[in-house]
Amino acid sequence: KSVGINTLIASILYRVPPSDVKFVMIDPKKLELTLYAKLKEHYLAICPELDEIVITHPQNAVLVLRSVVNEMEERYDTLARLGVRDIVSYNRKIEKFESSGEKEKGMRRLPYIVVIIDELADLILTASREVEEPITRLAQMARAVGIHLIVATQRPSVDILTGLIKANFPTRIAYQVATRPDSKVILDMYGAEKLIGNGDMLFLPPGTGKPVRLQNPFISTEEVEEMIKHIRKQPKFPPYELKLVRDRGTVGAEATKKVQQDDLFDKAREIVIRHQQGSVSLLQRKL
């Protein structure tokens, strides 16, 4: 899993300049992504008010995810003011303005943002609803404005990869797992339990029902360190700053409080997702 994340990051760093992409990195285990903190002045998006560059504390993870949601909403407002539908069209217009010497007030070229969560389980177990809500919103809406998510876990259970999260991640990768149910949780089908390890993987593209078997390349920690060392020798870019959002508002807080008081809410939600329908009679029978 960790090698897979490092190869994804490396493939982006090799191809895309710092002006065009920024990373938000969340690593609750403090093991895999902390190396990339050295790229603060090149490739990272940060909340200046937080005391972490690579986020490791669960509560800071909640805050930075809310801040990315806020960034998404602000980007939608910006695109609407310019009358465009996605980040590609927006950046093209900004480039035309700049080449002609014109300037749109308060508008600038927008980089892509890649949010990487190295271990979802640690966040779900400590702050389930506070994490699930922003992840779901970003997965549903953020692609058009250039914000993407890479979410990984070593614990593929229904408690971690909930139906709500899975429904909004059509692209999935499974490495070797211990049991058939683990494969079912990730891919909605069996097969990953038969993989042989060492980068052997199943890749499920969006809109397809059949995974493709691939070989993940290997990148060592030493190679990652050398790559980071090389990047740090290049011209610096200011970190992309996200506005810190500490509270989603009184209404949202009260609504969350009410939901938390209902012990059967999570079970009811899973039943509706599993059966693809919701009715009083169905919930009465199952609960």
Q: What is the pLDDT of residues 184-224, one digit of tens each?
A: 999 999 999 999 999 999 999 988 889 999 999 999 999 99
The confidence score (pLDDT) of residue 252 equals 34
Q: Round the average pLDDT of the chain to a whole number and report it.
A: 88
Q: What is the CA radius of gyration of the chain?
A: 20
Structural domain boundaries enclosing 211:
2-248
Check whether residue 144 and residue 255 sit in a common domain.
no
Q: How far apart are CA 215 and CA 200, in angstroms?
A: 5
Check whether residue 209 and residue 280 sit in a common domain.
no
Residue with tokens 């994340």: 5
Handedness of CA 41, 46, 49, 55 (dihedral sign): negative
Residue 145 banded pLDDT, cuts 50, 70, 90: very high
Are the beta carbons of 54 and 74 closer than 8 angstroms?
A: no
Are the beta carbons of 46 and 241 closer than 8 angstroms?
A: yes
- pTM: predicted TM-score of the whole model, two decimal places: 0.82
Check whether residue 154 and residue 15 sit in a common domain.
yes
pLDDT of 261 above 70: no
* Average confidence (pLDDT) over 244-255: 54
Check whether residue 146 and residue 211 sit in a common domain.
yes
Which value, to the nearest 10 degrees, does the dihedral of the CA atoms of residues 81, 87, 88, 91 take? Answer: 60
Check whether residue 16 and residue 137 sit in a common domain.
yes
Q: How far apart are CA 263 and CA 259, in angstroms?
A: 8
Are the beta carbons of 113 and 146 closer than 8 angstroms?
A: yes
Domain tally, the chain: 2
Check whether residue 287 and residue 150 sit in a common domain.
no
The confidence score (pLDDT) of residue 242 equals 96
pLDDT of 128 above 90: no
Tens digit of pLDDT for each residue in 264-275?
Answer: 766 676 666 556
Q: Which amino acid is at 48?
A: P
The confidence score (pLDDT) of residue 40 equals 95
Check whether residue 228 and residue 190 sit in a common domain.
yes
Q: For the domain that residue 39 is a member of, what is the CATH number?
A: 3.40.50.300
C-alpha distance from residue 280 to each of 111, 119, 238, 284 (Å): 46, 36, 54, 6
Check whether residue 159 and residue 282 sit in a common domain.
no
Tens digit of pLDDT for each residue in 15-51?
Answer: 999 999 999 999 999 988 999 999 999 999 999 999 9
Q: Please give the share of the chain, as a percent, with pLDDT higher than 90.
A: 70
- Total length of the chain: 287
Residue with tokens 């506005």: 243
